[in-house]
Amino acid sequence: MTMLMLVSAVAMLISPCAANPVRNLTLSDSLNSIIDLVEQYSENLTKSFYVEDVTHLVESGCGNNFFCKVHDILQKHPKNDEEKDILRNLEIFIKKSHINCKEVLKKVGPSEKEQPLPDLLGNLTKCIQRRNFMGNVTQAA
């Protein structure tokens, strides 16, 4: 009897399930671990990428100076595919709107504050929605 218990204990230790604890996770546990990893990654991304704060330009009306400043910031920032797409579309908007960002940015000084990259992108979303809703009413603001 003792020998049988020792053999079964050894067999359990060598089995693939025991060697690979991930296989013992349920489907729900597996998905929950993905959520945890995504949250950790997002938190790290938020903490590691800080850019110039443009909130004051949002509050002043989301004018051309805002779009030029965001374009300038994103050009200097390391880009993944999503950021490249955002930058490309922002460049198209600026070009079709006939905005001279070099001239506009001469009047916009650098901010002393920083904000996480996701906050900058959130501000960009707000300003685009505002501009789409209200039209181009703040040409120079």
Q: How far apart are CA 74 and CA 70, in angstroms?
A: 6
Query: Contact at 8 Å (CB) between 105 and 36?
Result: no
Taking the model in full, what pTM does it have? 0.64
> What is the predicted pLDDT for the residue at 48?
66
Up-side HSE of residue 138: CA atoms within 13 Å toward CB?
Answer: 19
Digit-by-digit pLDDT tens for the chain (141 residues) are 444 444 454 455 444 444 444 456 665 565 667 777 777 766 666 566 788 999 999 999 999 999 999 999 989 877 777 888 888 999 999 999 999 999 999 998 888 899 888 888 889 999 999 988 876 654 444
> What is the predicted pLDDT for the residue at 111?
87
> What is the predicted pLDDT for the residue at 4?
43
Query: Contact at 8 Å (CB) between 68 and 105?
Result: yes
